[in-house]
Amino acid sequence: MSITVTGTIERRDIGTGTWALLTDEGVTYEILKGADKNLLKAGQKAKVKGQVREDVMTIAMIGPVLEVKSFEVISSD
């Protein structure tokens, strides 16, 4: 399922560590490995377009896995 969401990037120390997007609505997505390094900055706010991957499981299991297709940085801390 393709989605566009706005939220804040977070680094979670679960397992070997993972990146997450906490949306403005309070939903947490786990960012699939391989995302652009310019997106992966804790505290940065971004609008992300991507694909929810229901065929992928992770160790962290913090929420649906989001494969980032594109993003726009809104602000950074």
What is the C-alpha separation between 5 and 50, in angstroms, rounded?
Answer: 9
Task: Count the alpha carbons within 13 Å of 34 in the hemisphere toward its beta carbon.
Answer: 7
pLDDT tops 80 at residue 76 = no
Please state the domain count of the chain: 1
Phi first, then psi, for residue 38 (nearest 5°) are -70, -20
Work out the average pLDDT over 37-61: 95
Residue 77 pLDDT:
64
- Average pLDDT of the chain is 94
Residue 14 pLDDT:
87
What is the domain range of residue 51?
2-75
Residue 27 binned pLDDT confidence (cut-offs 50, 70, 90): very high
47 or 77, which is more confident: 47
Residue 75 binned pLDDT confidence (cut-offs 50, 70, 90): confident
- Check which CATH number belongs to the domain holding 32 and give it: 2.40.50.140
What is the C-alpha separation between 21 and 33, in angstroms, rounded?
Answer: 13
